[in-house]
Each structure stands twice: as C-alpha cells, then as structure tokens.
Amino acid sequence: MATETLIERLAPIQKSFFQKVNQQFDSAARFTTHPRGMLEQIKICNSSCHFTFPIKRDDGTIETLHGWRAEHSHHKLPTKGGIRYSTLVNEDEIMALAALMTYKCAIVDVPFGGAKGGIQLDRCEYSESELERITRRYTYELIQKNYIGPGVDVPAPDFGTSETEMAWMLDTYLGMAADKLDAIACVTGKPIEQNGIRGRKEATGRGVFFGLREACAIAEDMKRLGLSTGLPGKTVVVQGFGNVGYHAAKFLSEGEAIVTGIIEIDGALYNPEGLDVEKVFACREESGSIRNYPDATLIDNPQDGLELACDILVPAAVENQITAENAPRLKARILAEAANGPTTAAADEHLKQRNMLILPDTYLNAGGVTVSYFEWLRNLSHVRFGRLGRRFEENQYKSMLQAVEKATGYQFSSTEIALIGHGADENDLVDSGLEDTMITAYHEIRETHRRRCPAADLRTASFITAIDKIAEAYLQLGIFP
C-alpha cells in the first residue's frame, strides 16, 4: 500500500527529461559535502544553441529544419556527445542527454565534458542525398558557432545516425578547418577507412555485455535477486534492434545468455528457447522488418514485449519506455539501461521497491564514448594502436615459446603458437581497454553504493561518483579556490 501511495504521488508529476536528470543529480548530491555553488555549477547546462536552417528537397521545395547542440559542462575539454536524428528531438532532450554525457564520461574516467546534438526529423522521409545535405548544413552551422572541433566539441553517432553521417561531418569540417593537422579528430564513430577505429560501431553494445557480465558475476548480488551467478543461461529481452540493441544481443548470446525476446518499433519476437540473433538481423536486412522472422511468436504490440518473462530486460531504443504504468508488470530481475533515460522517475521508484537491480544508463552505455575516446586519441597521435609494439611482443613471445620447447622437449602446434604468440593489434587493444573500463567503473560505483548510499541504488551511486570526480576537476582548474 505504501508503495502504491508513493508511486501515485510521483506519477502525475510530468517532469521534463532534463528535470528528471537533475532530480537524479539532486538525490545523489545529498550524499556529498561539496559546496552548494559547486553543485549548481556541475548541474547547470553551460551552453545550448538552437538553430534553424533551410534545405532544398529533391523535388525543389525548400524546408526549414530545427537543430540543436548543447554543451553541458566545460570542466574538461573537448565536450563530447552524439548527434540524434528524430522527430522527438527538442532542446530539453538535448540538454538532458548532454548532462548524462557529462556524468557518463566522469564515471568511466574519459576526460571530456558532456554534449549532445540533434535535428528534429524523421530520417525515413528523406532521401540519402537530402540527408547528406542536411548533415553538411548542420555541420556548417556548428562550425560557424564554434560548436565543433577536436579541442572544442566532438560529435559521434547516436539514435538515427551512423558512421555515414560522421563521414559527411568530417568532410565538411576538413573543407573549412584552418588547422588541418588534427582536424580528423573533430568527430568520432567515423568509418574505419576514414580514420575511424576498429570496434567503435559495436562499442556501446559490447560495453553493455561487459557491464552485465560483471554484474552477474557477483554471487552476493545474484543471490539477493534469486538468480544463479554468471551470465550463461540467463534469459534476455532486448528492446530496439538498432546499433546498440543488435550488438548487445549479439555479444550477450555469444556470452551464452539466451536472447528470448527482441522488440522493435513494429512488433516483438519471442522464443523461450532463444532467438538466433544473426538470423533475426539478416531477416530484417532482407525483408525490412523483424516481423518476418519465422522461428518465433510474433507479438503485434511492441510495448507488450517489455513484459515478457526474462531475467534481464535491456531497453536499447529511446527514453521513457519503462513507466509507472508498465513497471508493475515487468518480470525481469535486472534492468540493463542500454538506452539513455529509458526509465521514468516513477517507474524507477517502483522497481527499486521491488528490489530489481538497475544498471543505470550513465554507466552501462558508456562503452560508446569510451571507444570514441580511443578513436580521438588515435587521431591526435596519428598512429594506429599496436603499430609500435606488436612485432616486438610477437618476437618476445616466440623466443619464450622456443625456450620452453628447448627446456621441456614439448613442441607447440601452429594453433598454439598463433594463439600465445600473437601481439596485440588495434582490435585487441580497443577491446581490452573497453573491458577494463567497464569492469573498473562497475566496481567503483558498486563500492560507492555499499559505502556511501546503501539504502539508495546504483544510479544514485553512479551520480555520486561522477559528482566527486567533476568537483575534483573544478578544484584542479582553480575555479573554486
């Protein structure tokens, strides 16, 4: 009864997305001792820009579009955050997502302030060449307003954009940049052949996998949820089968979790024995919809998919999907927030009271910005990761194997030599850096939770971790003597 009263009290308060993020910030700030002025500075959005620009449609008509870029925090530079193409884009959403980027970067120790940008459009209504003109014009606006640059603000892909848009942004920036030396670091998430980095496309989904694997490995936490320890055998439902959702599903099933449900905008698939993630992907590529996948029950109303029986629910689509209305019917024990802001404040309160484990977005989807950081570093250093050390490592390993053979008489097979004697290349280093980041950050926020706010949740703990690190950065800048 007490639970219902609290949820009823929270449900009618329709907070904006940015207000919701700030509410989460305030809940965490109570557990810190930073001066009020410092907390205000951390919380506020430093700058935000709304601009309109015309584009010529293929039929010759002129249309005006609305775009935004918000830089939430300049405590570290450049600022960093994705570009979103969606009809729902608005200034409040962009500021909220920029704020989440600030906290996310701090949680995973990536030295950027947070930013976000977007254009209000439905990309399905535009041809490829129209999207190129829109992206180039948007980039031009960012350049004019000093909202892009390798040391200023570095965009990346987000909902509705991909490496293609990043390549157009890079080309537009390169054409106009006065200093060409580091200009390739003006965006991340670029195609590999245009100075992108191996592993960026799959990074957010891969990070979701590493985060979930780490959380499921802690016996004490799993016992509290009534689950066995370890990822293998756990059932998973994923909402959104785009970049993040597809890669999360792929890596989770490779890690022996069973992906039993996939939810898309036009329907959901369910198979308690497990879906073949690659086949669902191929089916969508060929036919345009997951609905045509044969080996599953088709659920017409996608929202019903969120309520399927499973151990882990992975929202990887858009915000506000888990609400006070559907939260009581969720069956999952772990909510893995791969999307940004998928849970409303009222739903959050309800799930907490049901002792569900919520892996917050500020931590769980930080894999993308982590690998973006590696890409930015690679672009600025002008050297491919692994170039300097790989041969040296391989020669060292070879010598060691030969010494072992000589001492023991054992002959290593060519497969063993290839496995043990392999020096780290860019793929290996990016993957290892991402794995280390997700594991370290998880234990950091879990420890903060245990020591500083045991009665709260991991979301609060992740905000406390972020606030402490940003406050420290401000102190180092000498802004708050």
Which residues of the shown chain bind ligand NAD in the complex (CB under 6 A)? 157-160, 204, 239-245, 263-265, 302, 316-318, 338-340, 365, 368
How many secondary structure helices (H) and strands (E) does the chain include? 18, 12
What is the nearest approach in angstroms of ligand NAD to the Cβ of residue 77?
20
Supply the DSSP string of 411-450, one letter for each residue: ---HHHHHHHTPPP-HHHHHHHHHHHHHHHHHHHHHHHHH
8 A C-beta contact, residue 239 and residue 317: yes
Which structure tokens are listed for 398?
Answer: 């070879």
Please identify, using beta-carbon distances, which residue of 29 and 338 lies nearer to ligand NAD. Answer: 338
What is the nearest approach in angstroms of ligand NAD to the Cβ of residue 116?
9
Half-sphere exposure of 319 (CA within 13 A, CB side): 22
What is the nearest approach in angstroms of ligand NAD to the Cβ of residue 452?
26
Positive or negative, the CA dihedral 389, 395, 400, 401 is: positive
Please identify, using beta-carbon distances, which residue of 265 and 401 lies nearer to ligand NAD. Answer: 265
Alpha carbons 337 and 314: distance in angstroms, whole number? 6
Please identify, using beta-carbon distances, which residue of 204 and 465 lies nearer to ligand NAD. Answer: 204
Please identify, using beta-carbon distances, which residue of 24 and 41 lies nearer to ligand NAD. Answer: 24
What is the nearest approach in angstroms of ligand NAD to the Cβ of residue 249?
11
Q: Which one of the listed residues 20, 43, 80, 116 is annotated catalytic? A: 116
Q: What order of strands is seen across the sheet that includes strand 62-71?
A: 47-56, 62-71, 113-120, 79-86, 153-157
Alpha carbons 200 and 33: distance in angstroms, whole number? 37
The single-letter DSSP state of residue 14 is -
What is the nearest approach in angstroms of ligand NAD to the Cβ of residue 211?
12
User: Residue with CB nearest ligand NAD?
Assistant: 242
Supply the DSSP string of 258-313, one letter for each residue: EEEEEEETTEEEE-TT---HHHHHHHHHHHSSGGG-SSSEEESSHHHHTTSS-SEE
What ranges in 108-127 are assigned the alpha helix state H? none
Please identify, using beta-carbon distances, which residue of 48 and 370 lies nearer to ligand NAD. Answer: 370
What is the nearest approach in angstroms of ligand NAD to the Cβ of residue 446?
21
Annotated catalytic residue 76 = no
- Who's near 58: CB < 8 A, 6+ residues apart? 127, 129, 130
Please identify, using beta-carbon distances, which residue of 22 and 243 lies nearer to ligand NAD. Answer: 243
Alpha carbons 471 and 156: distance in angstroms, whole number? 26
Please identify, using beta-carbon distances, which residue of 242 and 423 lies nearer to ligand NAD. Answer: 242
Query: Locate tokens 């219902």: which residue?
Result: 4
What is the nearest approach in angstroms of ligand NAD to the Cβ of residue 319?
6
Catalytic sites, residue numbers: 116
